[in-house]
Structure 1
Amino acid sequence: MTGDKPRGETFVPTSGRVQGVAVVLIGLACAVLAVVGDGPVTWWAVALGVGFAALGWAALLRPGVAVSDDTLVLRNIVHTVRIPLAAVEEVAVRQVLAVRAGERRYVSAAIGRGRRQLRRDDRAPRGGSGDVVRMAEESYGLFVEERIRQLAEQARATRGIKLYGPEQAALAAEVRREPAVPVIVLLAGSALALVVALVV
């Protein structure tokens, strides 16, 4: 039965992947060179390299947007936000993805559109049966915006919830913000190690 299978969809981030890999590799290379280079180990360089790699990974590689079952998942630098799809009132992709649920606005830098793409999208005609396919080909950010909007409408229809109704407001109270503890520990630990290495 296909209705019992959990629905999942992951949206590919629109920028930062190549730069993120480069930053992580440069940071790790600096840390390795500080350890294996000639002379004594320079611990401040090790801590700086690890911190640089950790920050690059957290800021450029970790952010993501996905739908898991009936939940929109926004993974940011130091936290993850889980929003029930039926609670989503508004979705917009400008420079960043912005989602409104209840009285709160949640953003993710994983999906965005540049100024040039925004102007192009504003001029392009919309509508028709091939609209979703055209959007996916011409403007991925616009495609993600429309897809999340469709999934939210489907989730509301399944639950019998009206847009901006009291049930939707109550559902918005179920939004969860979870700290990314390993990322926070890694960033704080590398910063602390750098300070200790510089002082000692």
Structure 2
Amino acid sequence: MATALARGAAAMITMLAVAAAAPASADSPEPLYNLVDAAAQRLQTADQVAANKWLTGGPITDPARVKVVLDAVAKDAESRGVATDYVTQAFTNQINATEAIEYARFAGWKFDPAGAPSAAPDLSASRAVIDGLNHQIVEQFSVQWPLLNSPGCRPALDAAKNIVAGERQFDDLYRTALDVATRSYCPAG
């Protein structure tokens, strides 16, 4: 019973942390804002995931989990008429960027053990948030498909990234991760 309550509390903390990090700017005039913001929120789960893996000794790379994610987003994309190879590449970039943040956190904690986490939310709670964000990202790919495949994609993407990174007060690590996570969004250029 206590374990179930602890897991429930951890799940609630994770969801509240992501929700609190989400600015109320969904009314942005930038057409790719919601897509980029969902990708940014997904990146922000990396700190909680890294903390869990640090404390449990779990590996940063998890090929089985990656396969589950890529299969799920490909299926979601297919149901929405979005090219599955496009979505698979985009999520491969997103996962690589997230793992890079996790590696950076591990490196920082090795340099400064006093800064290492002493508690972390349950990994399943973080994964539930990630799965929800994955769905939002695929939904935005579907909604923005014409723009993503047009010459206007790159300027729209750059504008959305600048706004999101500023609102979320991203440091250089997170800005670089956002660039990596979104680098294949504009296949036309």
| TM-score where L is the length of structure 1 | 0.28
Instruction: Tell me which protein shows more strand as a share of its residues.
Output: 1
| Bigger relative CO (Cα 8 Å, ≥ 6 apart) | 2
Instruction: Tell me which protein shows more helix as a share of its residues.
Output: 2
| TM-score where L is the length of structure 2 | 0.30
